[in-house]
Amino acid sequence: MADPTKSKIDQPTGTPTMGHEWDGIEELDTPLPRWWLWTFYACILFSLGYVIAYPAWPLIEGYTKGALGWSSRGDLAKAMATQAAKVAPIHRAIAATPIDQLPAKPALMQAAVDGGRAAFKVHCVQCHGSGAAGSKGYPNLNDDDWLWGGDLATIEKTIVDGIRNPDHAETRLSIMPAFGRDQLLQAAQVNDVVAHVRTISGQQKGDAASQRGAQLFADNCAVCHGPAGKGNRQLGAPNLTDGIWLYGGDGDSLHQTVWNSRQGVMPRWGDRLDAATVRMLAAYVHSLGGGEAAPVMAVDNVAGEASDARP
Amino acid sequence: MTTASLSLYEKRKGVYPKAVDGFYRRLKWAVMAVTLAIYWITPWLRWDRGPYAPDQAVLIDLAHRRFYMFAIEIWPHEFYYVAGLLVMAGVGLFLVTSAVGRAWCGYACPQTVWTDLYQHVERLIDGDRNAQIRLDKAPWTAGKIARRVAKWSVWLVIAFGTGGAWIFYFADAPTLQHQFWSGTAASVAYATVAVLTATTFILGGFMREQVCIYMCPWPRIQTAMLDEKSLVVTYKHWRGERRGSLKKAQAAPTEFGDCIDCDQCVAVCPTGIDIRQGPQIGCITCALCIDACDKVMRQVGRPRGLIDYCTEDDANAEKAGRAPRPVIRSLLHVRTLVYLTLWSAVGAAMLFALGTRTRMDISAQQDRNPVAMRLSDGTIRNAFTVKLRNMESRPRPMRVTVEGLAGVSLWTDRDGRADARTAIDTVVPPDSVAKLRLFLAAPAHGPQRQDFAFTVRATDREGGADHEPAHFERLQ
């Protein structure tokens, strides 16, 4: 507030000035409207009420809690509880629907896929990757190559019982011998078998080695992988003639595989997750593009045949 | 001045505008009737859009993200139409200012219209200016309380009607009205009505000219926009001064101008200013002082227009004794024409875009994780999320195909690769977007990143098509 004795009156407006001047520019001392003062007081009153009602003052260990007891964590907990209550009936419905009947209920199936996508991000991405594309030793779940089968029920069983859990009777179990390490085959013989596998998978032309390997394959490998090397899902034996290799299809990787055998492990999720979550995970994995229809009857399903190139 | 400079805060000076009649007052009546009618009637107009869309002519459907305006339906992705409307509104304000000064403030601004309405109510209940001043100063007798209660009640009813009408723009009006009275409307509806009722009541009943002078940015912008060619309400001081009462003027006719200092221009002013002090921020150019002054001039037998709409150029010409330019010349100066051109260009561009917009649309987003992957037969698969937009208010059958990718096969997440085909048929529900997850398998040999296009064709009688460029990516 300018000293009234010093302030000048601005002639055009009749308003006193603040009494200072910058390069001939002076500041008018226009009084604020009175209602502005009232709104200012109203804001102070509001802030008093706010400080009493809500968390406000930081203390040395903690803070003032406010009369309403509101907290952002409490808000979050409430929101989470509301969401949980909202999805609970959906989870119950999914848990009560056998998985082969899910596709007949498109809304429930979609809910299962969406829920599975969320659960996958928590439980599965550590090995299979966030896009379910896997990596060496961890199967890509987007493709159409399945060790144990790609229909909904089979995927669900794989998730429930896991793979190679020695303490679990129902687990998926396929044990390929370590042909080299256990001296079932000589080093040269392993090379011949690898040459044969690379021939039937179309990666190299047949030669003398692969012809020697063919006989070794028939004697040692065909019992699981089939005479043509097309695998066997009942045994979890991979198809050796397709374009997909879990551990690599080059000579060195195949040699390692035959010499030492490969035995990847997946936990049995039936012990860790509830039925609805497992079912949702199965629906999500099935939806990634490689899902198969349930087999009409137990046939000797040969991987690769169903996916013959179409025009 | 000393007392004023001793106070940090200034009490609001009471404004008690006197009733007046005249050309501009009638114009204001007409504008008030039209604008209020538009505001209150619009939500109740119906417009038949068939069974799949609402039949309200003007509807801002926030829940379903649609904006309906008669035959026009705007989707969120077409928000640039709203942006265009805002640009037109902005340039339109410039245009109006350039042509006729602060006509928006004086006639069409909601603050002006509702304040005007409230002041009429005030006059009906409290009487005209002098009675209002007397009543304000009077002690709180039963009579004064009764009048205040009556006035504030009518104000509240108007305020409630104003706030209440607002929500009907955002939902089906008849349904919402029923819900509103039966207590089943959304709480946001009640909150909106409550807030708007309060603001209308306070701003129209008590804040009035304070809003124009202290709160609204537009008068400040106007100050920068007005120039010597802008129409402003002008007191022609060269004609009016020196002021003096009729008696004095009769005694010494040569010493006095036309202004008889009757203060009628001040008495009728809704913002409480004295126009004879020259153009000022409080003047909203409502021209009621022109009406008041013209009436007085008629009574004392002097020519009208002592206070009149006048540009500074014309004022200078008139002062110098030259003939003022014709009104059409002042209206059509360069700045006005530039604004008009700009405004029309935006409008024409929007009309053109509206007339030529497609009613169906396809967009495709490629899965980035994984981008490409090998299938067991050695082919490469990419996955896309494809969205088909049907803006018609009826279901439409559509077919999605892929062009420029040899040997491709498609399937969706609803079927498997066993059902792979070259075209996907689907029916897109009316007025909505259908989402398809598409898997594309193509031979492994080919460029690592191959351009192709998704095409959607409507397979009904009307037809129509849209394309979306995309890439097919292969493993290295």
Asked whether the beta carbons of B68 and B75 are under 8 A apart, the reply is no
Query: Chain B contacts of A34, Cβ < 8 Å?
Result: 9-12
Q: Map residue A34 onto helix, strand or coil.
A: helix
Taking only the tens place, the pLDDT of each residue in A64-77 is 999 999 999 999 99
Predicted confidence (pLDDT) per residue in B128-144, tens digit: 999 999 999 999 999 99
Q: Judge: A143–B12 Cβ closer than 8 Å, yes or no.
A: no
Chain B residues with CB-CB distance to A under 8 A?
1-2, 4-12, 207, 210, 214, 367-370, 373-379, 381, 383, 407, 409, 413-414, 416-418, 420, 422, 437, 439, 444
Report phi then psi at B453, rounded to 5.
Answer: -140, 140
Comparing alpha-carbon positions, the chain A residue that sits nearest to B7 is A31
Smallest CA–CA distance, residue A121 to chain B, in Å, is: 13
pLDDT at A307 over 70: no
Cα separations in angstroms, B332 against B102, B160, B232? 17, 42, 16
- Looking at CA atoms only, how far is residue A57 from chain B in angstroms? 31
Residue of B nearest to A147 (CA): B376
**pLDDT class of B264 with cuts at 50, 70, 90:** very high
pLDDT by residue (tens digit) across A201-250?
A: 999 999 999 999 999 999 999 999 999 999 999 999 999 999 899 999 99
Q: At which residue do the structure tokens 């038949």 appear?
A: B48
Instruction: Pick the residue of A27, A34, A117, A144 with the most B CBs within 10 A to test the interface with B by mutation.
Output: A144
d(CA B369, CA A117): 13
Of A29, A106, A242, the CB nearest to B377: A242
Q: Which chain B residue has the Cα nearest residue A36?
A: B9
Coil vs helix vs strand at B454: strand
**Minimum mean pLDDT among A55-59, A131-135, A303-307: which range?**
A303-307
Q: What is the mean pLDDT of residues A67-92?
A: 95
What does the mean pLDDT of chain B come to?
Answer: 91
pLDDT in tens, A165-206: 989 999 999 999 999 999 999 999 999 999 999 999 999 999
DSSP states of A128-190 = H-TTS--BTTB--SSSS--SS--BHHHHHHHHHH-BS-TT-TTSB------TTTTTSS-HHHH
Lowest-confidence pick of A138-142, B194-198, B311-315: B311-315
How many Å is the maximal CA-CA distance in chain B? 115
| pLDDT (tens digit per residue) in B153-168 | 999 999 999 999 999 9
Which residue in the set A140, A292, A308 is minimally distant from B377, CB to CB? A308
Closest residue in chain A to residue B213, using alpha carbons only: A33
Binned at pLDDT 50, 70 and 90, residue B417 comes out as confident
Whether A14 has a pLDDT exceeding 90, the answer reads no
Test the B interface: residue of A1, A285, A307 with most B CBs within 10 Å: A307
Q: Give the pLDDT band (50/70/90) at residue B17.
A: very high
Phi, psi of B432 (to 5 degrees): -155, 175
Residue A109: closest CA among chain B residues belongs to which residue? B414
Report the pLDDT value the prediction gives residue B250, as an integer from 0 to 100: 84
Interface test with A, best of B366, B373, B421 (most A CBs within 10 A): B373
What is d(CA B64, CA B77) in angstroms, rounded to the nearest whole number? 13
Classify the phi-psi angles of B280: left when phi > 0, otherwise alpha if psi is within -120 to 50, otherwise beta. beta
Highest mean pLDDT, choosing among A4-8, A115-119, A287-291:
A115-119
**pLDDT number for residue B475:** 87
From chain A, the residues in CB contact with B422 under 8 A are 311
pLDDT value of residue A6 = 55
Q: State which residue of chain B sits closest to A105, comparing Cα positions.
A: B414
Residue A52 pLDDT greater than 90, yes or no: yes
Count Cβ neighbours within 10 Å for each residue of A108-144 and write b for 16 or more, e otherwise.
bbebbbbbbbebbeebbeeebbebbbbeeebbbbbbb
CB A205 within 8 A of CB A199: yes
pLDDT per residue as tens digits for the range A143-160: 999 999 999 999 999 999
